[in-house]
Amino acid sequence: PPGKPTLYGSVTRRGLSSDGVPDIVASEGFVAGEVTKKSILISCPHENVSTKFLAPYTSFCRIHQKSITCLDISSGGGLGVSTSTDGTMKIWQAANGEIRVRASGLDVLCCLWHSCSPVAMTLVRLQGSSSAWEMRCFLCLYEHSLWFHAGILDTAIVDRGRNVLSCSRDGTARLWDCGKSACLGIIADCGSPINGIAVGTADNSLNLGTPEKPPSEREVGTEGKILLLAREDKKLQGVGLQSRQPVFLFVGSDAFNCCTFLSSTYVLAGTQDGNIYQLDVRNTNAPIQVIHRSGAPVLSLLPYRDGFIASQGDGTCFIVQQDLDYVLDLTEADCDPVYKVASWEKEIYTCCRDGIVRRYQLADL
C-alpha cells in the first residue's frame, strides 16, 4: 500500500479439481478468491485491495529471436506488426503468430498501423547512413537533426492519416505530409529529448492559441487538436497542433517516457521513476491522481474502456478499470521490461525484452 511497508504472503496449490482448476489457499492476511485455469483473484482484506492475476491466452515465441521493441495491431484485429533488436520488422497473424511479411537488416525503432489503410509504418535507419531516417511505406524523415545521433522515438497519426507526427532525441516534434513525404513544420523545439507523443481533440474551453501564419493546404485535421510531449527533462507539455503555441507545462518527478489521452479533458503520463500522473488539461497546476505501483520505469500507456493499461520496466503490466474493484495484472513477463501494449476489442497484446509476444483474452471482464 502507498506509504506503508510492503506486505508479503504466499499462495499454495493443494491440488486440482476434476475439470483441471487449481485448489488454491493463501497465507494469513490474504484471501484466494475466484480461481480459473487462467486467473487467480488475490485480496488483502485488511488493506481493502484486490488483484486478479491473468495468464496469457497464447504466447508467440517464434516471431522474433531477440528483444521486441514495439508492436501494434491492425484496426480489424487480424494482423500484428512488430519490430525487434534482431534487425527485423514482421507482420503476423494476430490469432496464431504466423508470419506474413518479414523485412530484415533494419535498424528499426518503432512501428504502427496506419489508421485508414492496411499498411504498417516503420521507422528505420537507412543502411550505410548515420544522418537519415526513413518512414517506410509513406515518407522519409530526413529533417530530424542527428548531430548527436538522435533517433525518432515515437510517432502519432493525425485524424485520418494524411499527416503524421514524430518526436526525436533532438528535442523536436514535427508534422509530416504523407502524400509528398515532406515536413510541414516543427510543432515544438524543446531543447530536450521527447520520449513520447500523443495527439487528441482538445476540450472546447481550452485556448490552443492562434497560428502565426496560415497553415499549409497540405495540413489536414490539425485544428482543435492538442499534442502531448513526454519530455526527458521531467516536463509534460501540451502544444496546440495547428497554432504551434504552448498550452500547458507540467513538471513531474522524473523524465516522462510516455503519454496518452483518456478523453478531451484528461490525460495520463508515465515517468522513469514509476509514477503515472492523471491530469486535467484545463488545470494542470496539480495532478488529479498519482498512481505508483513500483519504482520501475513506466514504458507505455494505453486507454482501455473506461480505464487504461500500463506496462513497466520490471515486467509489470496492469489494467485499471473504473468498473472493477480490483487491478488486473497481466503475468508471465517476469522481470523483463514490457515495452509496448496494443489492444483490439477484448484482446491485449504485449511485447517484451524476452522476445515473446503475449496475447491475453479479457472475455471474462
| Domains of the chain: residue spans and CATH | 62-129+136-313+345-361 (2.130.10.10)
Say what the pLDDT of residue 259 is. 98
Q: Report the chain's mean pLDDT, rounded to a whole number.
A: 87
Say what the pLDDT of residue 135 is. 44
Check whether 358 has a pLDDT greater than 90.
Answer: yes
Length of the chain (residues): 365
Report percent pLDDT > 70 for the chain.
88
Check whether 138 has a pLDDT greater than 50.
Answer: no
Say what the pLDDT of residue 110 is. 76
Banded model confidence at residue 4, pLDDT cuts 50, 70, 90:
confident
Say what the pLDDT of residue 365 is. 54
Strands 49-54 and 327-330: parallel
Q: How many CA atoms lie within 13 A of 203 on its CB side?
A: 15
Say what the pLDDT of residue 15 is. 93
User: Does an H or E element contain 78, and which?
Assistant: none
Check whether 137 has a pLDDT greater than 60.
Answer: no
DSSP tag of 273 = T
Check whether 106 has a pLDDT greater than 80.
Answer: no
State the Cα–Cα distance between residues 113 and 126, nearest whole angstrom. 20
pLDDT tens sequence across 325-340? 899 999 999 899 999 9
Report percent pLDDT > 90 for the chain.
67
If one counts every other C-beta atom within 10 angstroms of the C-beta of residue 141, the result is 20
Average pLDDT over residues 216-234: 96
Average pLDDT over residues 153-171: 88
Say what the pLDDT of residue 102 is. 86
Residue 162 cell numbers, joined: 494524411
Check whether 343 has a pLDDT greater than 70.
Answer: yes
**Nearest residue to 175 via CA among 236, 167, 251:** 167
Average pLDDT over residues 30-45: 94
Instruction: Tell me the longest C-alpha to C-alpha distance in the chain.
Output: 72
Check whether 183 has a pLDDT greater than 60.
Answer: yes
pLDDT tens sequence across 38-65? 999 999 999 998 999 999 999 999 999 9
Residue 342 cell numbers, joined: 496494443
Burial class (CB in 10 A: 0-12, 13-18, 19+), 14: exposed
pLDDT tens sequence across 121-134? 555 443 443 444 44
Taking the model in full, what pTM does it have? 0.90
Average pLDDT over residues 282-297: 90
Say what the pLDDT of residue 108 is. 67
Banded model confidence at residue 257, pLDDT cuts 50, 70, 90:
very high
Banded model confidence at residue 115, pLDDT cuts 50, 70, 90:
low
Check whether 301 has a pLDDT greater than 90.
Answer: yes
Greater confidence (112 vs 353) lies with: 353
Banded model confidence at residue 88, pLDDT cuts 50, 70, 90:
confident
Ranges 23-27, 120-124, 211-215, 320-324: which has the least confidence: 120-124
